[in-house]
Structure 1
Amino acid sequence: MFICLYRRLNFVLIGLVLSTLPALSHEFWIEPQKYQVESGAPVIADLRNGQNFSGANQVFFARRTRRFDVTQGDLTTAYQGRMGDLPAFQLSQAEPGLLIITHETAPQTITYETWVQFQTFVDHKGFVDIPKQHQARRLPSQGFAESYTRYAKTLIAVENGEGSDHFQGMETEFVALANPYTDDLSLGMSVRLYYQGTARGSAQIEIFERGPNGKVLVFLQKTDSQGLVQVPVKPGHTYLLDAVVLRPAPQSGDPVWESLWAALTFATP
């Protein structure tokens, strides 16, 4: 019992350290240990934070979680994690069908000590007009803060994996318009991006494709006027889709910017 407690405390301490490194760890996603599981088998998934579809596992913290849900069909239930759980999501069993996990973090804050750090971020995420907005708002060029919130979703096939994804009501969210485990993906995976309940057009989508050998390819696409993007996919690969909203913070003072990060993960048989 002492050893288990010691390990759990270690996981908590590791999570606290990792959570202080948002500037170095960009994407946040849900990564199932298996994207396809048998009926009655456990469903286990990690919360990950990192870059290039590789990152550290995050322990479960209730105070840093606004929402953690499990959806199958029309039924959505809140997931009850335990403080320090690693993996963060552990479901003893699930019914056959498509299982959707959604996770929304509580807002956290990052401070940009230099303008170069901020410029690198906005360039990477395709926000070409943000530097002009920053100057027009007469904001400082260093030592300013940004609040960020993560909205992650994953699709898991239990047994046959039949079912469909649907909008879960997060402020920004990907919705898969095809089931990657049952549908024909020869023309790609159709996905729609939402922001505040409305399809978000002309948004940059960063797509991470991991092959069976672990190699990751990264490419960019933009949604059309209806918020749609057709993601080319390959059999036997796993995918992470990432899109960011960057807007002025709702209240004056610090932080001065607010970012909302949508993520979707799935696999292709």
Structure 2
Amino acid sequence: MLSIGHWGWRGLFAVALLCPNPACAHDFWIEPSTFQPLPGMTISVALRVGQDFIGDPVPYMSNAIDAFFVRQDGEDETLSGSEGLEPAAFLRASGNATAIVAYSSAGSTVELPAGRFKAYLEQYGLDETISERRLREEDAKPARECFYRYAKALLSGTAPSPSVTQLLPFAYEIVPDRDPTTGFGVFRGHIFYDGEPLADARVEALHRQDPSVRLSVRSDAQGGFSLTLPQAGVWLVKSVHMVRAGFFSDCDWESSWASLTFEMPEERP
């Protein structure tokens, strides 16, 4: 069952609407009204939960949020919205350089039957967890999971921003090696867990206009990865990491979900 303590009754109701089947494992991402705002433009910031880059709206719920802010022109501005409503926030884009919209959740819990939990692990390439459950002879047991969301979106400006390539204070994060809003082609980045590069993490990329365009790669020993994005447009890059929960945790497993959305420009002739 879902932990009411994290979400409150309003949040629990919203989650029940979005995920009536407890087996569903959903991606979470930020979808602004535009990824290419004009200087001074006010844009809406929507939170989405779903699969294949098709999502349902997530309302602003303060008790479900750990951090929600925009980083632009070297400063961080906290974002907030109307409780229980969506879009989750509005912001005024400076347009000077690439801005980062960032969100981290306070965390939630879910308990899944054994078969459904295994199917979810297989879907997201969490092979180490599958192996560990087998070694512990837990294959036939339900699993209680604590999960946390870490989402970022990039808003293009008149110039690239070095902030795009820097770590945020997130437990799990996809960090580009260069600003992907300024060039077409290969997306290179690194995966970080607790501030350290993470090897063998599966990273996927989906195209919004055609979710069947799906790329997948594993990070190398230094946490690096490379994805050749075949077309311009809005992309979702995502990854999930799971570890055994600590001895004093109420859960068996803890998962971290990272996502990055941005719009890649057309290839120049």
TM range (shorter): 0.7 to 0.9
Deviation per residue, 1:173-204 (Å, 9 max, x gap): 0111222232x334x01111111101112211
Q: Deviations over 1:82-140 (max 9, x none)?
A: 31231112114434211101100111111112x22111111122222323322444547
- Offset at 1:252? 4.4
Greater mean deviation of Cα atoms: 34-43 or 21-30: 21-30
Q: Distance between the aligned counterparts of 1:68 and 1:156, measured in 2?
A: 15
Corresponding residue of 1:249:
245
Select the residue among 184, 193, 196 that pairs with 2:194.
196
In the alignment, what sits opposite 1:3? none
Question: Match of 1:144?
Answer: 143
| C-alpha spacing 1:268/1:251, structure 2 compared with 1 (3 Å) | same
Q: Establish whether residue 169 from structure 1 lines up as the match of residue 169 from structure 2.
A: yes
TM-score, length basis structure 2: 0.85
Moved more, 218-227 or 71-80: 71-80
Structure 1 partner of 2:36: 36
- What is the identity, as a one-letter code, of the residue corresponding to 1:185? F
Tell me, what secondary structure is at the counterpart of 1:97? coil
Q: What is the identity percentage for the equivalent residue pairs of Structure 1 and Structure 2?
A: 25
User: Deviations along 1:125-159, whole A, 9 cap, x unmatched?
Assistant: 2222323322444547333311110111111114x
How many aligned positions are there? 253
SS of 1:91's partner is: strand
Structure 2 unaligned spans of 5+: 1-9
Which deviates more, 69-78 or 43-52? 69-78
Higher mean C-alpha deviation, range 37-46 or range 136-145: 136-145
C-alpha change, 1:45 and 1:234, in structure 2 (3 Å) is farther
CA contact (8 A) 1:26 1:49 kept: yes
What SS class does the counterpart of residue 67 from structure 2 fall into?
A: strand
Distance in 2 between residues matched to 1:222 and 1:161, nearest whole Å: 30
Give the CA RMSD over aligned residues.
2.3
- Return closer, same or farther for 1:215/1:193 CA change in 2, 3 Å cut-off: closer
Looking at structure 2, the residues matched to 200 and 215 of structure 1 have their Cα atoms a distance apart, in angstroms, of 26
CA drift of 1:161 comes to 4.5
Which residue identity does 2:120 align to in structure 1? F
Q: Is the 8 A contact 1:23 1:110 kept in 2?
A: no
User: 1:194-236: CA deviations, max 9, x gaps?
Assistant: 111011122111211233xx45422211112221112212443
Q: Structure 1 residues 102 and 191 mapped into 2: Cα distance closer, same or farther (>3 Å)?
A: same
3-state SS of paired residue (2:104): strand
Please tell me the residue identity of whatever aligns with 2:141. Answer: Q
Which residue among 195, 207, 230 is the counterpart of 1:209? 207
Structure 1 unmatched runs, 5+: 1-10
